[in-house]
Amino acid sequence: MKIFLDTANLDQIKKYNDLGLVDGITTNPTLLSKENADPQEVMAEIVRTVKGPVSLEVLSTNYEGMMEEGRTLAKYGKNVVVKIPMIAEGMKAVKQLSGEGIKTNVTLVFSPNQGLLAAKAGASYVSPFIGRLDDLGEIGMDVIRDLVQILKNYDYPAEILVASVRHPLHVIEAAKLGAHVVTLPPDVLGKMITHPLTDIGLARFLDDWKKAKQSHPKITLTR
Ligand code: G3P
Does the beta carbon of 129 sit less than 6 angstroms from any atom of ligand 1?
yes
Q: Look at residue 219 in the predicted model and tell me its pLDDT.
A: 81
Asked if 27 contacts 56 with a C-beta cutoff of 8 angstroms, the reply is: yes
* Nearest CA residue ID for atom 8, ligand 1: 164
Q: Which residues pair with 56 in a beta bridge?
A: 82
What element of type H or E holds 131? Answer: helix 130-135
Q: Look at residue 223 in the predicted model and tell me its pLDDT.
A: 60
**Which atom belonging to ligand 1 lies closest to the Cα atom of 31?**
4
Query: Using one digit for the tens of pLDDT, what is the confidence trace for 21-46?
Result: 999 999 999 999 999 999 999 999 99
Asked if 86 contacts 54 with a C-beta cutoff of 8 angstroms, the reply is: no
Q: Is 191 a catalytic residue?
A: no
pTM listed for this prediction: 0.95
Comparing C-alpha atoms, which of 142, 145, 109 is closest to residue 126?
Answer: 109
For the chain, list the domains and their CATH numbers.
2-194 (3.20.20.70)
Return d(Cα 94, Cα 38) in angstroms, integer: 27
Considering the candidates 83, 92, 103, 176, report the single residue annotated as catalytic: 83
Phi, psi of 53 (to 5 degrees): -60, 135
In one letter, which amino acid is 22?
V
Return d(Cα 95, Cα 145) in angstroms, integer: 25
Strands 80-85 and 125-128: unpaired
Query: Using one digit for the tens of pLDDT, what is the confidence trace for 153-210?
Result: 999 999 999 999 999 999 999 999 999 999 999 999 999 999 999 999 999 999 999 9
112 by DSSP, 3-state: which? helix
Task: From 32, 33, 130, 164, give the residue whose CB has the most ligand 1 atoms within 8 Å, as the site to mutate.
Answer: 164
Comparing C-alpha atoms, which of 126, 177, 78 is closest to residue 117?
Answer: 126
First to last CA, the chain: 39
Centroid of ligand 1 to alpha carbon of 171 (angstroms):
14
Return d(Cα 65, Cα 86) in angstroms, integer: 15
